[in-house]
Structure 1
């Protein structure tokens, strides 16, 4: 059975059942049975059917709805206590800087904010794949501090002090430790890790002075687990995740500066082209537009926190608490160590065109 036509009128060649995964099921449940409004519909319906409060179906459903409501409220309270109130996001005054924004996820975010009329600056070694309104391109190797320092002055002079920084730049080589040469290892850490330090050092002081800002760190689920042929990438993303943790602690007393950590699973961009996901049901490949929507929703709301998607990325950290023998068994079952065997990544001509 084919999937129904997409809103644009095109049909997907994927079977309908391939579009069903655990994330979809959980999402449906979270807005129905596990949402306070949905949970309270059952006792109200039973009451309308003249069930009395001492009847087990009615008081049982009330108990369930109460527990769901308490859990929902506890989540809100936890986020408020952890990150404080949201900051005001005024699109007439916001200036965004996106590293690695010439393609892929970064370009998608830049396009949307540019079309919404915000001032956006892209920092990349490659020119954007398309021309976008209100988006300025600054050629810059973000792994080189001197270049970032010089470009940051131009950005501030030409479009203003950035209030939103999205550290998105990343490279992946997909080689074993012995096959990686020195240049590739250095390139990974320059682009994936040091670039975050350089942009934060240049743009955070302006946010502190303006008393508002949002810093988004793009990490990865591989910051929690290192499969074969991902040693440099996984290590760099783990470093970025811990950098973000320290940054969050350091800016905590600046109430209006928010930090957002994004730890996605595999995204369908050329960066990991050829990689075979172990399970499309439990570990579905993410579409860039879905990740971009979640990031932009958090930025627009002025909130802080962590975005972990799809669902399995929220629980993979539990593996570290299991016995090593169980961890190895789970790695074998999941097939994560064999996923990079078919890795192609970006073709050299794609890298010249800035595709990620």
Structure 2
């Protein structure tokens, strides 16, 4: 008797047909339809086109809704201007963009986009670039956890490419082990790369950025793990919490001393990169995997517009600070439902990905925080 047939597959991992559906997609649809001022005002205009009287209940309700949405958008715009200030002028032909950890993943995407658009891009990484030399991108082999290497490369970049105007601190490593299983050198290396490297690069590049009359932009890539923490990520979570605190304090300092320098904090949730290959994804509806290209688009838009920003995605990442407000019992329940403390049990990381374990049915399935 032949063995039973496997269940039908709808995606790389046998996803169901509704797998792409997430709360973020639903919110995006509503934000560009019923919650958009332009669409909201079309409804009363359509009613009027049908010769409906101005005092008719449907007309009054639709006008009230459109007015509320318009006022909400106006308040958000005023809030952003008061909170973040005026944007700086950005001319890509004059921008020198430095990206740490730019040889792969999110950093590589941003580097290639800016290189193709005419900006001068310097990539700092210990690994060779995945796609070789990209147009407009210069690679510098540098271990950002070594302050002497960072200082040497910073001087080399200013001499060869010009004065840096944008610094994107993106480099990171993950041990993915319980605290008691990590050696002290592993912990020190993790904290040096994920946290101390930000201090090294800021000390090396910020003085040059401050000399630019048009100002510059500092981008800090952190993580929601810095807020909620997770089992097997003690060193990583501690570093990311420190990075977020560093960013906020630096922003306050620059607001007083160098108001023409903009700062962008990026706190993504689950990110599809080799860094966390093997991590089991929690609930895909409430916590969908974020593709690097989506994060790159937001970061590039913030830099291009010359504004301060806090970029958090997906939706739950924008509300993650409320987690600390919950009673402890609800926090424990939320962690169990999300599976955040069991997600790292099958972690393989970059090494597992390099061995080809991330290849599934002709493509890649990489899931990460």
The TM-score by the shorter chain falls in which range? over 0.9
- Distance in 2, matches of 1:317 and 1:311, equals 12
- Distance in 1, matches of 2:353 and 2:339, equals 30
- Which one of the candidate residues 265, 268, 273 is aligned to 1:269? 273
Which residue number corresponds to residue 317 of structure 1?
321
Q: Secondary structure at the match of 2:243?
A: helix
Tell me by how many angstroms 1:350 deviates. 3.6
Superposition pairs of residues 155-170 of structure 1, within 5 angstroms: 155-170=157-172
Tell me by how many angstroms 1:309 deviates. 0.3
Which residue number corresponds to residue 204 of structure 2?
202
Tell me by how many angstroms 1:277 deviates. 1.3
- Distance in 1, matches of 2:182 and 2:36, equals 48
1:146 matched to 2:148? The reply is yes
Query: Under a length normalisation based on structure 1, what TM-score does the superposition of the two structures give?
Result: 0.93
Q: Secondary structure at the match of 1:148?
A: helix
Superposition pairs of residues 188-337 of structure 1, within 5 angstroms: 188-211=190-213, 212-253=215-256, 254-337=258-341
Which residue number corresponds to residue 362 of structure 2?
none
Q: 1:266·1:272 contact (CA, 8 Å) conserved in 2?
A: no
Q: Secondary structure at the match of 2:267?
A: strand
Q: Secondary structure at the match of 1:224?
A: helix
Structure 2: state its 5+ residue gaps. 1-7, 356-365
Structure 1 pair 349/221, CA: closer, same or farther in 2 (3 Å)?
Answer: closer
Tell me by how many angstroms 1:16 deviates. 4.0
Which residue number corresponds to residue 125 of structure 1?
126
Q: Secondary structure at the match of 1:346?
A: helix
Structure 1 pair 162/3, CA: closer, same or farther in 2 (3 Å)?
Answer: farther
Which residue number corresponds to residue 42 of structure 2?
41
- Distance in 2, matches of 1:19 and 1:232, equals 32
1:25 matched to 2:26? The reply is yes
Q: 1:215·1:258 contact (CA, 8 Å) conserved in 2?
A: yes
Q: 1:2·1:16 contact (CA, 8 Å) conserved in 2?
A: no
Tell me by how many angstroms 1:53 deviates. 2.2
Q: 1:36·1:68 contact (CA, 8 Å) conserved in 2?
A: yes
Tell me by how many angstroms 1:273 deviates. 0.5
Structure 1 pair 180/110, CA: closer, same or farther in 2 (3 Å)?
Answer: same
Q: Secondary structure at the match of 1:337?
A: coil
Residue by residue over 1:236-268, the C-alpha shift from the partner in whole angstroms, topping out at 9 and shown as x without a partner, is: 101000000011101113232100000001111
Tell me by how many angstroms 1:15 deviates. 4.7
The aligned length equals 347
Superposition pairs of residues 93-112 of structure 1, within 5 angstroms: 93-112=94-113
Tell me by how many angstroms 1:35 deviates. 0.8
Structure 1: state its 5+ residue gaps. 5-10
Which residue number corresponds to residue 56 of structure 1?
57
Tell me by how many angstroms 1:49 deviates. 1.6
Residue by residue over 1:73-129, the C-alpha shift from the partner in whole angstroms, topping out at 9 and shown as x without a partner, is: 111111100111111110110000000111111111111111112111011111111
Q: Secondary structure at the match of 2:279?
A: coil
- Distance in 1, matches of 2:320 and 2:114, equals 32
Tell me by how many angstroms 1:147 deviates. 1.0
- Distance in 2, matches of 1:234 and 1:316, equals 14
- Distance in 1, matches of 2:353 and 2:234, equals 25
- Distance in 2, matches of 1:35 and 1:67, equals 11
Deviates more, 1:47-56 or 1:234-243: 47-56
Structure 1 pair 219/93, CA: closer, same or farther in 2 (3 Å)?
Answer: same
Q: Secondary structure at the match of 2:121?
A: strand
Q: 2:223·2:269 contact (CA, 8 Å) conserved in 1?
A: yes
Q: Secondary structure at the match of 1:19?
A: coil
